[in-house]
């Protein structure tokens, strides 16, 4: 399996040191958020150059960049904040080409600028229409750049369900817009009793556009689902891994919510289940 890790979850150090640690733990690719792995300056559009990309590739020493993270709020009500976000997406899409990264990844965020979960705001059709409208220039940039933008549905966000993600995809019909499938992010106390239905629907109606999978676990806690490393909670991975193996061979799977002392164990947990499914 092609399993990677978020670079900012790896033991602290220079980017080259982090890459060596990730490789030593058996990972083949990374989710790279430049601002988290290198510092806040690297979110600024002016920093994006072919030279920086060349240095990052050298430091990664053979690790593929599955996801170049740019998780900004396209639905922010302040238009100056939104315009700056579009510039940052444009820079990341250029960097993705120079890095030969799989996708630029993003979530779909909140209407509330304080990023508070509000069902009455985030899950309305007006919110979805606003997100689609705000997404349009970024998709256009991706198309012109030859890069791919991948959105990550999250239950608490505007694109909260597989059906809402399908509406976004159908609004563009663009090869430059794809999906990051994070099963835990689609679950919430509100829909936990329907979790199998939710995940089945995602794998059905988003199958063609899913290009990256995120894997983590969850622990029910105070009417919420607290995310943790794979194997430390209640997530059942058999169906997800069967989907990856049978429908998406070779897909890059990046782990989330790991710590340096449990990341390798999380990878081995998934590989053991995959081995049982394939008889390997």
How many Cβ atoms are within 10 Å of 61's Cβ, its own excluded?
Answer: 12
pLDDT tens digits for range 133-166: 999 999 999 999 999 999 999 999 999 999 999 9
Q: For residue 119, what pLDDT is reported?
A: 81
CATH number where 16 lies: 3.20.20.150
CA–CA gap between residue 165 and residue 158 (Å, rounded):
9
pLDDT at 102: 98
CA–CA gap between residue 67 and residue 104 (Å, rounded): 6
Q: In this predicted structure, which of 114-118, 178-182, 234-238 has the lowest mean pLDDT?
A: 114-118
Hey, what's the torsion of the CAs at 139, 144, 148, 152, to 10 degrees?
A: -10
Instruction: Give the Å distances, CA to CA, from 5 to 47, 120, 273.
Output: 24, 34, 18
pLDDT by residue (tens digit) across 7-19?
A: 999 999 999 999 9
* Residue at token pair 């976004």: 168
- What letter would DSSP give residue 156? T
pLDDT band at 197 (very low <50, low <70, confident <90, very high): very high
The distance in angstroms from the start CA to the end CA of the chain is: 12
CA atoms within a 13 Å half-sphere pointing along the CA-CB vector of 209: 25
Which residue has 């959105």 as its token pair? 151
Can you give the pLDDT at residue 223?
83
CA distances from 245 to 162, 176, 249 (A): 21, 24, 5
> 255 by DSSP, 3-state: which?
strand
The per-residue pLDDT for range 224-244, each reduced to its tens digit, is: 899 999 999 999 999 999 999
Helix (H, G, I), strand (E, B) or coil at 29: strand
DSSP secondary-structure letter at 11?
A: P
118: pLDDT strictly greater than 90: no
Say if CB 66 and CB 102 are below 8 A apart: yes
Give the C-alpha separation, 267 to 272, whole Å. Answer: 9
Residue 280 reports pLDDT greater than 80: no
Query: For the chain, what is the domain count?
Result: 1
User: What one-character DSSP code corresponds to residue 194?
Assistant: G
Tokens of 270: 């998934």
Inform me whether the pLDDT recorded for 272 exceeds 80. Answer: yes
Q: What percentage of the chain has pLDDT greater than the value 90?
A: 93
Domain span at residue 84? 2-278
């Amino acid at each position: 399996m092609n399993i990677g890790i978020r670079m900012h979850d790896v033991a602290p150090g220079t980017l080259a040191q982090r890459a060596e640690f990730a490789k030593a733990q058996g990972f083949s690719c990374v989710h790279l958020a430049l601002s988290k792995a290198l510092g806040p300056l690297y979110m600024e559009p002016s920093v994006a150059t072919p030279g920086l990309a060349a240095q990052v590739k050298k430091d990664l020493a053979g690790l593929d960049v599955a996801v170049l993270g740019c998780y900004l709020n396209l639905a922010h009500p302040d238009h100056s904040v939104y315009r700056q976000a579009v510039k940052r997406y444009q820079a990341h899409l250029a960097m993705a080409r120079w890095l030969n990264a799989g996708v630029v990844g993003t979530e779909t965020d909140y209407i509330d600028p304080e990023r508070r979960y509000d069902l009455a705001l985030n899950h309305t059709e007006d919110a979805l229409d606003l997100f689609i409208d705000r997404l349009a220039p970024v998709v256009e940039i991706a198309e012109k750049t030859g890069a791919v933008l991948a959105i990550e549905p999250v239950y608490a966000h505007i694109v909260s369900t597989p059906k809402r993600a399908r509406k976004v995809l159908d609004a563009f019909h663009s090869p430059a817009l794809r999906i990051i499938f994070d099963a835990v992010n689609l679950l919430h106390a509100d829909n936990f009793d329907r979790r199998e239905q939710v995940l089945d629907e995602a794998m059905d109606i988003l199958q063609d556009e899913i290009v990256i999978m995120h894997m983590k676990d969850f622990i029910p806690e105070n009417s919420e689902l607290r995310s943790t490393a794979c194997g430390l909670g209640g997530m059942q991975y058999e169906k997800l891994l069967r989907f990856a193996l049978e429908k998406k061979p070779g897909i890059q799977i990046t782990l989330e919510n790991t710590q340096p002392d449990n990341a390798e164990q999380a990878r081995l947990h998934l590989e053991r289940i995959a081995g049982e499914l394939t008889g390997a």
